Amino acid sequence: MAPRVTICDGCCCGRVEKGNHEAPIEYLRSAWKENELKEQVKLTISGCLGPCKMNNVSLITSGSERIWLGKLNDIEYYEAIVDWAKDIADGSGKLIVPEKLAKLQFDPLA
């Protein structure tokens, strides 16, 4: 099963009117299309993923592995997700959190 990047676009994430940063949904869709990633790494834009206190949340899954990222409050983090997906798609990357994103990783059950 291909790895999947799920971007929350629910009740809080990406909601500027609630004081949160915009989630660049169109940028991500365009990047996936431009880099032909959809077969190797799936992109899902979802409703609420749950951990709203970490607003602007992403969940990366591969098999049984889950990596939660929160506080994605700058385009540079989404660019890093795209770069990571490109590395995974070309076979050079692994499901290891890149350094730029590591500080944003969290456990939703903690």
Q: What is the DSSP string of 2-34?
A: --EEEEE-SSSTT-GGGTPPPP-HHHHHHHHHH
CATH 3.40.30 fits 4-106, yes or no: yes
Encoding tokens for residue 75? Answer: 């385009």
CA–CA distances in Å: residue 16 to residues 67, 73, 94, 99: 25, 11, 33, 27
107 pLDDT above the threshold of 80? yes
In this prediction the pTM is 0.92
Statement: residue 94 has pLDDT above 80 = no
Between 30 and 52, residue with greater pLDDT = 30
What rounded mean pLDDT belongs to the chain?
92
Confidence of residue 92 (pLDDT cuts 50, 70, 90): low
Q: Is the pLDDT of residue 93 over 70?
A: no
What residues are paired with 59 via a beta bridge? Answer: 6, 68
- pLDDT the model gives residue 62: 87
pLDDT 10s digits, 42-61: 999 999 999 999 989 999 99
